[in-house]
Amino acid sequence: MKDIVIFGTGVNADIVQFYMREVSGWPVKAFTVNEQYLKGDTFNGLPVVPFETIEQTYPPDKYSMFVIAGYHDMLAINANKIQEVEAKGYEVISYIHPDAPKDLVHGKNCFVMQGNCIHPRVVIGDNVFVWSGAIIGHHSKVGSNNWFASGAGISGNVTIGNNCFFSVNCTIGHGITLGNEVFVGANTLTIKNTEDGKVIIKESDKPIKLNTKQFLRMSKFNSL
């Protein structure tokens, strides 16, 4: 394995570095961002260098790269940056936690945390992020540039397009197909095929009129 440079210095880059270096012992050596976003010379104790000149200090023949520019614009920004990284000659790597099934088929720049329930016979494309606690059911096929937040539940034999976002505790029913650029909100249930560009959200539960002290007194919660 080559040494690794991570594109990004946000909270998600912090998490990626933790798993690569602290959990799996991968050789993360530096971070990079575009020069206009530089906020300092170091991040998490490692150098941060401008992406415009990255190959001068961390050349592609000695370093691989992972891109985590965030999930903004349905991961389109991340996907575009991957193209720029590859144009400079870098290999783009994936991090798949050892908990994942051995037959998981995945593309480049994928990140799969520990504690997921990914069934056998699952295929995911490029630039797919699966946070802890998500479920991807058997024989499901996931396109590229997709983000699965913690607790997202994808049933078996589901087909998912590109550039979709699945929020916390959403549920996708068995055997359905979702198009591209679908946003699925928290605590939603989707059991029908969904066209491109659809947004599925559930209204937030309204707080009751009692304040906390009144609720505790009237519900006898403290006596449980």
Annotate 74-89 with DSSP letters as a single string. Answer: GGHHHHHHHHHHHHTT
* pLDDT confidence of residue 224: 58
The residues spanned by each domain of the chain are 3-87, 94-200
- Cα dihedral across residues 175, 181, 182, 187: positive or negative: positive
pTM above 0.85, yes or no: yes
What are the pLDDT digits (tens) for 123-182? 999 999 999 999 999 999 999 999 999 999 999 999 999 999 999 999 999 999 999 999
Task: Tell me the CATH class for 3-87.
Answer: alpha beta
Mean pLDDT of 105-111: 98
In this structure, which topology does domain 94-200 adopt according to CATH? UDP N-Acetylglucosamine Acyltransferase; domain 1 (2.160.10)
Mean pLDDT of 117-122: 96
Length of the chain as a residue count: 224
Mean pLDDT of 48-70: 96
Cα 45 to Cα 186: distance, rounded to the nearest angstrom: 35
pLDDT greater than 90 at residue 46: yes
